[in-house]
A and B are shown apart, each in its own frame.
Chain A
Amino acid sequence: EVQLVESGGGLVQPGRSLKLSCAASGFTFSNYYMAWVRQAPKKGLEWVATISTSGSRTYYPDSVKGRFTISRDNAKSSLYLQMNSLKSEDTATYYCARTATTKGYYFDYWGQGVMVTVSS
């Protein structure tokens, strides 16, 4: 059974940093692209970052580019999201998601999510 378990969320002040982690199990982690997707309270879904199987390629939307860094440790089956210069608009539930690459990029399994609140 595919399992993705996020951790590291919490309350953080604007301008500070936070690092999220995602522990994966139930599949061969190193064979899959992985991603982070977030959802602000009562809002829709927003893709945040994607990383290739080896970690050599990373992708971000403009809203987080230069502030967030996605990384992975295949030996530990773990995914990370380093978030710097946090803003109030980064307040959201952050989901770790396995990425299926058929014709495109889809999120076929999701973690339960971890809440990040950016507030003074």
Chain B
Amino acid sequence: DIQMTQSPASLSASLGETVTIECLASEDIYDILAWYQQKPGKSPQLLIYDASSLHTGVPSRFSGSGSGTQYSLKINSLQPEDFASYYCQNGLSALTFGSGTKLEIK
């Protein structure tokens, strides 16, 4: 199965800052990658699919990039509602998720 290694596991940032979360696949996944946001006690929500396409209703401060085995999620100008956990997901085979990144307010 394709393994997804996500980093960092946790991240502290201030309002208005820009942060980047990384995801490394164990093999080429041809941009078939999604990012999800999950707030405590809530179900995950799709943010980005096909590595860089924004899901309906997702603010433009979220962006995704990457290719091959390396992908990243960038959040510009952090807002209070962005402090949550984030997961990458390989959409190619076995649909594996990264281990998650918890974004906390500094």
* Interchain pairs with CB closer than 8 A, number: 66
In the complex, which residue of chain B has the Cβ closest to the Cβ of A93? Answer: B43
| Chain A to chain B contacts (Cβ below 8 Å), 20 pairs | A35-B95, A44-B87, A44-B98, A45-B38, A47-B96, A50-B95, A62-B1, A102-B49, A102-B50, A103-B32, A104-B32, A104-B33, A106-B34, A106-B89, A107-B36, A107-B44, A108-B55, A111-B43, A112-B43, A113-B43
| A11 interface residue per 8 A CB criterion | no
A108 and B44 alpha carbons, distance in the complex (Å): 9
In the complex, which residue of chain B has the Cβ closest to the Cβ of A6? Answer: B43
Q: Residues of B contacting A27 with CB < 8 Å? A: none
- In the assembled complex, how far is the CB of residue A78 from the closest CB belonging to chain B, in whole angstroms? 18
- In the assembled complex, how far is the CB of residue B53 from the closest CB belonging to chain A, in whole angstroms? 8
A113 and B41 alpha carbons, distance in the complex (Å): 10
| B64 interface residue per 8 A CB criterion | no
Q: Which of A44, A106, A109 has the most CB of B within 10 A?
A: A106
A44 and B50 alpha carbons, distance in the complex (Å): 21
Q: Residues of A contacting B1 with CB < 8 Å? A: 61-62
Interface residues of A in 66-120 (CB under 8 A from B): 95, 100, 102-113
A106 and B32 alpha carbons, distance in the complex (Å): 9
| B99 interface residue per 8 A CB criterion | yes
Please give 20 more A-B residue pairs, beta carbons under 8 A apart, in addition to A104-B50, A105-B91. Answer: A37-B44, A44-B97, A44-B98, A45-B36, A45-B97, A46-B97, A47-B94, A47-B97, A62-B1, A100-B46, A104-B34, A104-B49, A104-B92, A105-B95, A106-B49, A107-B34, A107-B46, A108-B46, A108-B49, A112-B43
A78 and B26 alpha carbons, distance in the complex (Å): 35
Contact A104 B98 (CB under 8 A): no
Q: Residues of B contacting A46 with CB < 8 Å? A: 97
Q: Residues of A contacting B90 with CB < 8 Å? A: 104
Interface residues of B in 11-69 (CB under 8 A from A): 30-34, 36, 38, 43-46, 49-50, 53, 55
In the complex, which residue of chain A has the Cβ closest to the Cβ of B50? Answer: A103
A100 and B43 alpha carbons, distance in the complex (Å): 17
